[in-house]
Amino acid sequence: MHLLYLIFVYLYLAAIKIASLFNTKAKKWCDGRKNIFEKLQSALSSDTSSKIWFHCASLGEFEQGRPIIEKLKKQNPNTKIVLTFFSPSGYEIRKNYEGVDYIFYLPLDTIGVASKFLQIVNPKAVFFVKYEFWFGYLNQLKIRNIPTYLVSGIFRENQHFFKSYGAWFRMQLMAFTHFYLQDKNSEKLLNTIGFKNTTVSGDTRFDRVFEISKVVQSTKILDAFCANKAVFIAGSTWAEDEKIIVSAIDMLKQYKLIIAPHEIDEKHIDAIIQSFGSKTSIVRYSQLTDNSSDALNAHVLIIDNIGMLSSLYQYGTIAYVGGGFGKGIHNVLEPATFGLPIIIGPNYKKFAEAVDLIGIGAAFSIHSDSEFNAVLNNLAVDSARESAASISKKYVQSKIGATEIILASVQLNQ
């Protein structure tokens, strides 16, 4: 199995290198790992401080790990934190994040590479977020007896660990000192294969979004654009989501409409603008200024930058969260913490918080234009909208506290 795993790793590397010839994201993946050990040596070789290593696959996992990182750093100001990402969508957006001391791409996962990485970083503890299981790194962490924690972990019955052929995969889990899990089902699954070092701590994303809601600041431009009107915010949208929204533009006339697409390349932004045709007035965020009255009076605002979405929801009346017509929905907790009713596409069942929110009447799943219109009609009734909004906000508040549970029991040698 180890040989097959190595073959997979190198085939993946070859595929990424080929893709990098014509794909920007793949090119960043490759370029970010060039001379990675020279970068590590240059940054860390003379730093004798104790270090903690956090690894996140991408931006979503980083947001889950962030509350732990920031609280741990506050509690241990002399400890350096090394943060790694697998994906460019995490690294490129957070490469200047000031809450840690060092940020790198994760080098390729082989035992030799992992050994070299750990020799340079020399962490006293390691945190993997959600479901990062890299055989080479876990193997070397186990050999070195370095405390290793999975935080906001989640497991599903269809994963390799729980199959009859899963013995080799289960070996990876032996490296973890403790599993801090999102739900009881994950704990039960781990218990069935002999792992009792578990705690159901919940999902640290609740702590993160709740913290955002407490410190979020308004901006003059958005204050002027929204102007105390009802606001419909469509966040992390893809083309299929945008088609749904465009189809209902007449019903959305009563709202100021803000669209923050998942991809903000010029081709996609132009496609969104063209899809509306002459049905409404549109402005891009980059075109707004404090006194651009024509722009501020536009009906639709397209967010053509990254990093604003979580704070945009403070202006919302209703939220639409994209991705549900593709691989899966994006973050529904960000609008929920601001007390917004939430509309999503049909692909949401892998996301416990979405299932919960739908079950309690705070979120609504749609499959078509007609279902979208029906939900909009329902939420146009003040009592229905206000009820969903209240339930949404209370749900988030009831789930905070995972960070405290984790850091209260993690043992870190000073």
Establish whether domains 2-202 and 213-399 are of one fold. yes
Q: Which residues are paired to 301 by β-bridges?
A: 258, 283
Q: What is the CATH number of domain 213-399?
A: 3.40.50.2000
Q: What is the pLDDT of residues 109-131, one digit of tens each?
A: 999 999 999 999 999 999 999 98
The pLDDT of 274-284, averaged and rounded, is 92
- Of 224-228, 248-252, 354-358, 376-380, the poorest mean pLDDT is in 224-228
pLDDT of residue 413: 57
Domain layout of the chain by residue ranges: 2-202, 213-399
134-192 pLDDT, tens digit each:
999 999 999 999 999 999 999 999 999 999 999 999 999 999 999 999 999 999 999 99
- Region 66-82: what's the mean pLDDT? 94
CA distance 27 to 22: 8
Check pLDDT > 60 for residue 414: no
Angle formed at CA 314 by CA 393 and CA 294, multiple of 5 degrees: 150
Pairing, β 231-237 against β 318-321 = parallel
Place of tokens 């977020």: 129
Best CA proximity match to 86, nearest among 62, 57, 109 = 57
Tell me the pLDDT tens digit for each residue of 1-20.
778 888 888 888 899 899 98
The number of residues in the chain equals 414
Question: Tens of pLDDT along 364-387?
Answer: 999 999 999 999 999 999 999 999
pLDDT score of 147:
96
pTM (two decimals): 0.84
3 state SS for 233-268 = EEEEECHHHHHHHHHCCCHHHHCEEEEEECCCCHHH
What is the model's pLDDT at position 288? 81
> For residue 171, what are the CA distances in angstroms to 16, 161, 192, 204?
27, 9, 15, 26
Which pairing describes strands 80-85 and 102-105: parallel, antiparallel, or unpaired?
parallel
**Predicted local distance difference test score (pLDDT) of residue 30:** 93
Q: Which fold has domain 2-202?
A: Rossmann fold (3.40.50)
- Distance of alpha carbon 26 from alpha carbon 12, whole angstroms: 11
pLDDT interval class at 60 (50, 70, 90) = confident
